Amino acid sequence: MMDPILEVKNLTKHFKTKYGLLHAVDGIDLTLERGKTLGLVGESGCGKSTTGRLILKLIEPTTGQIIFDGKDITNYKNRAMKEIRRDMMFIFQDPYSSLDPRKTVSQIISEPIIANNILKKSSDIEDRVTELMTTVGLAERLYNTYPHELDGGRRQRIGIARAIAMEPKFIICDEPVSALDVSIQAQILNLLKELQRKLGLSYIFITHDLSVVNHFSDDIAVMYLGKIVERAPAEELFLNPLHPYTKALLSAIPVPELDVKMERILIKGEISSPINPGEECRFAKRCYFCQDICMKEPKLLEYSPQHFVACHRAEELKGLEGGL
Amino acid sequence: MKEKDLILDLQDLYVRFEVEDGVVHAVNGLSLQIERGKTLGLVGETGAGKTTTALSLLRLVSEPPGVVECERLIVDGKDVMALSQKELESFRGNDIAMIFQDPMTALNPVFTVGDQIAETIAIHENISQTEAQKKAIDMLELVGIQGERADEYPHQFSGGMKQRVIIAIALACQPRLLIADEPTTALDVTIQAQVLNLMRELRDHYKTSMIMITHDLGIVAQICDEVAVVYAGNIVEYGTLQDIFNRTKHPYTEGLFNSLPNIRDRKAELNPIKGLMPDPTNLPQGCPFHPRCPYADEKCKEEQSVKWVSDTHYIRCIAYEREGFHIKLEEKR
Ligand SMILES: Nc1ncnc2c1ncn2[C@@H]1O[C@H](COP(=O)(O)OP(=O)(O)O)[C@@H](O)[C@H]1O
Ligand SMILES: Nc1ncnc2c1ncn2[C@@H]1O[C@H](COP(=O)(O)OP(=O)(O)O)[C@@H](O)[C@H]1O
Ligand SMILES: [Mg+2]
Ligand SMILES: [Mg+2]
């Protein structure tokens, strides 16, 4: 049964810059099933965070449509949006910059509860904060400490506690573990999974780390210069990547095992400018398989059930190395 | 027995920082030997003392607040602790060079990249400015950047290209020992793969000995011959790639592996190490890992010594000798 919590159609964000129009997000379609995780991967600057901010309506789209929990929220304004916002939360990469340094842990966590008038009695608020702290694994003794006194892992737990305080339906996690050491990263990933099970949360999980996204997501969308170039269930994407960029990304993962002789598909050069992109496939300049046909932009098409790819040559390149 | 040809012989390095809130015990009796031509991986999490160890080899730890002590520090036959300030200047660059994590801060924004490479060459080799400029362009091309771009400034380069420039500078004088401190951490994966490839090629070409500092066991697997796993300022496990990856013996190393997602099995659970890194101003008694270690008992609070488990492989752990101890990792593989 399809029961999407979120659908995004032709979502586009262009920024005006002095050099021209910057195509940060350029007509993307996404679907997130209720209770599931959609991973959004790609290199820095490809438009992941902008996508997240568009969905939460922190910025206005240039064009496109956002349907959240059955409602088209694209044109929702202040009042209506405030209601919806309780159900959609954000967890950032660097919790430090998003946490007010003058506030204590408990003040930070209770902020949304107070702002939305959920609880009024201070003893109720205290109880709720303590409960939330326990849920995310923060010791009670940290109740009155300040974020700068804590390590990155604990700060991320504060960000998570605040995000779940309103019992949202949906959270966008933007590189939530990228700044953390591996042992702490694993603790936070496990916590996010446990919360998903307990609270029935749906996630969009933004990351540049391919092994993390594979572990964490049900479906994965690969972005390149504002476009989605491939989208599939995680397992399928890792076994049968179709887009040359996806293949290159997967083959660049430093796997912590010996004697894995993966065919490395090194790609040339670096990501090009998102300003005034041409008519050609966005990846053409770096692609080893680029041909004349690639001077026309490919559409994202369903190649096999649930597996979408935007590459003219997907069929021909199918057998090529690149999967695991 | 044949004497080993060592590029680095470090014995009992201690570094502490005497700061307001107390004494940070950053490096605690670390010993390390590297054979010429080999690449050693120095692996561990933030605060383990990797960067401080590396800076000590170049005598670049700021003193004060730092206090550096060691029994022996020989790099390429030179007794580094005995070098004068002047000798140290030529030592850095000619004998040993370091690549830092953040390419943004390592380059000077007001000089062109060509000038910066040329300057390094001019300092270390007795050649004219024009010759140095010409050599700088060669170095740029060697790291995959068009020579014409020598006249550009660092801000005109992307992160990956800046890191290439830094590699060019580090290699310009063909140092005997190259230390790379998280050289690709700030880069995207596809660019990381390009830079690692480049480093491997240049290392093989110049036969440079190398220390690769990283928190990423995937990078270690790609580029290192030997591995030292560092925790709280000392090596807890040391061995060849095979020893560390396929014959893991230390519970901390096991914890690191178990924290990583398995790329071939999405459903496999992560088993993180419980708790946090110890406070370096107040390290636990005995084995510094014992408060987080699933195998620890009372004995682990006592002083730990090195146990060689083979000719190439040692650990600093006594739980290993206990009956019933065995690393769960071996079952998983
Ligand atoms: N407010 C803004 N004004 C102009 N350009 C922006 C703005 N926000 C983001 N961008 C640009 O949009 C592109 C996508 O950025 P972002 O979504 O942050 O990428 P990612 O999160 O994938 O690294 C980048 O080129 C970035 O510089
Ligand atoms: N200049 C300094 N003053 C005080 N403490 C320092 C200084 N440099 C490093 N440290 C401390 O020494 C310990 C080891 O740091 P470092 O060598 O940078 O670790 P790593 O590179 O493994 O992350 C840390 O606790 C760090 O905070
Ligand atoms: Mg981002
Ligand atoms: Mg460091």
At residue B123's C-alpha, the angle toward residues B117 and B129, to 5°, is 65
Could you tell me if B54 and B213 are in contact, meaning their C-beta atoms sit under 8 angstroms apart? Answer: yes
Specify the range with the lowest mean pLDDT, choosing from A22-26, A227-231, A258-262, B222-226: A258-262
The residue contributing the CA closest to ligand 1 atom 12 is A24
Q: Which residues contact B305 (CB under 8 A, 6 or more apart)?
A: B316
- Kindly state the tokens that stand for A37: 């995780």
**Distance between Cα B16 and ligand 2 center (Å):** 9
Contact A324 B192 (CB under 8 A): no
> Are both B192 and B282 inside the same structural domain?
yes
A299 interfacial to chain B (CB closer than 8 Å): no
The vertex-A160 CA angle with A158 and A166, nearest 5°, equals 110
Return the pLDDT at A105.
95
Distance set, CA B34 to CA A158, B238, B253 (Å): 43, 12, 21
Nearest CA, atom 8, ligand 1: A50
- A272 pLDDT more than 90: no
Please name the residues in contact with A254: beta carbons below 8 A apart, sequence gap of 6 or more. B192, B193, B196, B216, B218, B219, B221, B222
Average the pLDDT over B118-142 and give the result: 86
pLDDT digits (tens, 9 = 90+) for A172-191: 999 999 888 898 899 999 99
Residue of B nearest to A261 (CA): B222
Structural domain boundaries enclosing B129: 96-174
Q: Is it the case that residue A206 has pLDDT exceeding 90?
A: yes
Contacts with A, B 88-117, CB within 8 Å: none
| pLDDT(B250) > 70 | yes
Give the pLDDT score at B331.
46
Same domain, B74 and B213: yes
Residue A19: what are its φ and ψ, rounded to 5°? -95, -10
Task: Give the atom of ligand 1 at the shortest distance from the alpha carbon of A274.
Answer: 25
Contact between A235 and B266 using a beta-carbon 8 Å cutoff: yes
- The reply to whether B89 and B148 lie within a common domain is no
User: Cα separation of B124 and B172, whole Å?
Assistant: 9
Bond prior to B65 in cis (omega within 30° of 0):
yes
Interface probe with A: pick from B182, B189, B192, B229, most Cβ of A within 10 Å: B189
Question: Would you say how long chain B is, in residues?
Answer: 333
* DSSP one-letter code for A195: H
Exposed/middle/buried for B4, CB within 10 Å: 0-12, 13-18, 19+? exposed
Whether residues B153 and B201 share a domain: the answer is no
> Within an 8 Å CB–CB cutoff, is residue B257 touching chain A?
yes
CA distance B266 to B251: 24
Give the residue whose CA is nearest to atom 14 of ligand 2: B49
Residues whose beta carbon lies within 6 Å of some atom of ligand 1: A 15, 17, 22, 24, 42, 44-50, 274
Label residue A72 by pLDDT band (50, 70, 90). very high
Fill in the amino acid letter for B234.
N
Give the DSSP letter string of B217-259. HHHHHHH-SEEEEEETTEEEEEEEHHHHHHS---HHHHHHHHH
Judge if the beta carbon of residue B52 lies within 6 A of ligand 2: yes
User: pLDDT at position B333, please?
Assistant: 45
Closest residue by Cα to atom 8, ligand 2, is: B52
pLDDT of residue A317: 78
For B104-119, give one letter per residue: b (16+ CB within 10 A) or e.
Answer: eebbeeeebbbbbbbb
Question: A4: which DSSP letter?
Answer: E
Q: Which residue of A has its CA nearest to B198?
A: A266
Domain boundary among the residues B159, B174, B189 is at B174
Mean pLDDT computed over B260-276 = 89
Out of B44-48, B50-54, B100-104, pick the least confident: B100-104
Cβ within 8 Å of A, B 54-73? none
What's the pLDDT at B330? Answer: 47
Per-residue pLDDT, averaged over B89-97, amounts to: 88
pLDDT of residue B324: 65
Residues B190 and B233 in one domain: yes
Tell how far the Cα of B284 is from the centroid of ligand 2, in angstroms. 18
Query: Are B249 and B237 within 8 A, CB to CB?
Result: yes
B150 to chain A, any CB pair closer than 8 A? The answer is no
Does B266 contact A at CB distance below 8 Å?
yes
Residues B133 and B104 in one domain: yes
Report the nearest atom of ligand 2 relative to the CA of B50: 22
B62 lines ligand 2 (CB under 6 A): yes
Asked if A119 and A167 touch (Cβ cutoff 8 Å), the reply is no
Tokens 């807890």: give the residue.
Answer: B236
For B155-164, what is the mean pLDDT?
Answer: 84
Using the Cα atoms of residue B72, residue B74, residue B78 and residue B81 in order, give the sign of their dihedral: negative
C-alpha B181 to ligand 3 mean position (Å): 24
Would the CB atoms of B263 and A253 count as touching at under 8 Å? yes
Do residues B204 and B320 both lie within one domain? yes
Q: Identify the nearest ligand to the CA of A151 by its number.
A: 2
Q: Single out the residue in B145, B174, B203 at which a domain terminates.
A: B174
Q: From the CB of residue B181, how many other CB atoms can be counted at a distance below 10 Å?
A: 20
Give the residue, B30 or A79, on which the prediction is more confident.
B30
Question: Of B190, B216, B257, B267, which to mutate for an interface test with A (greatest number of A Cβ within 10 Å)?
Answer: B190
Q: How far is CA A324 from the centre of its chain?
A: 23
Cβ atoms < 10 Å from Cβ of A82: 12
Strand pairing partners for B79? B74
Smallest-distance ligand from the CA of A46: 1
Ligand that lies nearest to the alpha carbon of residue B46, given by its number in the listed order: 2
Contact A231, A308 (CB under 8 A): yes
Integer Cα distance of A16 and A2 in angstroms: 38
* Domain shared by B37 and B85, yes or no: yes
Q: How far apart are CA A80 and CA A23, in angstroms?
A: 29
If one compares B82 and B124, the residue with the highest pLDDT of the two is B82
Give per-residue pLDDT as tens, A88-107: 999 987 766 778 889 999 99
- Residues 6 or more apart whose CB falls under 8 angstroms from that of B268 comprise A215, B261, B262
Same domain (yes/no): B111, B250: no
CA of B150 to the centre of ligand 1 (A): 28
Tell me the CA distances in angstroms from A13 to A29, A67, A78, A279, one per residue in order. Answer: 13, 17, 20, 18
Q: Identify whether residues B203 and B158 lie together within a single domain.
A: no
In 3D space, the residue among B24, B106, B10 whose CA is nearest the CA of residue B64 turns out to be B24
Interface test with A, best of B247, B266, B271, B332 (most A CBs within 10 A): B266
Residue B227 near residue B41, CB atoms below 8 Å? yes
Contact A54, A24 (CB under 8 A): no
- The backbone torsions φ and ψ at residue B168, rounded to the nearest 5 degrees and listed phi first, read -60, -45
Q: Mean pLDDT across the stretch B44-56? A: 94
Lowest-pLDDT choice from B85-94, B237-246, B323-332? B323-332
Question: A252 touching B, CB under 8 A?
Answer: yes
Q: Which domains, from first to last, does chain A contain?
A: 4-87+168-239 (3.40.50.300)
CATH of the domain at B300: 3.40.50.300
- B179 and B197 share one domain: yes
Q: Is any Cβ of chain B less than 8 angstroms from the Cβ of A194? A: no
Q: For the sheet containing B96-99, what is the strand order? A: B96-99, B177-181, B209-214, B39-43, B226-231, B234-240, B313-315, B307-310
**What pLDDT is attached to residue B1?**
46
Chains A, B: CB pairs < 8 Å: 113
Q: What is the value of pTM for the model shown?
A: 0.91
CA of A41, nearest ligand number: 1
Computed over every residue of chain B, the mean pLDDT equals 89
How many angstroms separate the CA of residue B116 from the nearest CA in chain A? 23
State the SS3 of A232-264: EEHHHHHHCCCCHHHHHHHHCCCCCCCCCCCCC
The total domain count for chain B is: 2
- What's the pLDDT score for residue B276? 84
Smallest CA-to-CA distance from A99 within A52, A142, A47, A163 is with A163
Q: What is the mean pLDDT of chain A?
A: 91
Q: If you compute the radius of gyration of chain A from its CA atoms, what whole number of angstroms results?
A: 21
> What is the band of A305 on the pLDDT scale with cuts at 50, 70, 90?
very high
Contact B248, B261 (CB under 8 A): no
Of the residues B117, B147, B174, the one at which a domain ends: B174
Mutation target vs B (from A36, A154, A182, A209; most B CBs, 10 A cutoff): A182
d(CA A85, CA A170): 10
Shared domain check, B317 and B260: yes
Q: From the DSSP assignment, how many helices (H) and strands (E) are in chain A?
A: 11, 12
The residue among B130 and B68 whose pLDDT is bigger is B68
Residues of A in contact with B262 (CB under 8 A): 215
- The strand ranges marked E within chain A are 4-17, 20-33, 37-41, 63-68, 71-72, 88-91, 170-174, 202-207, 219-224, 227-233, 301-304, 307-309
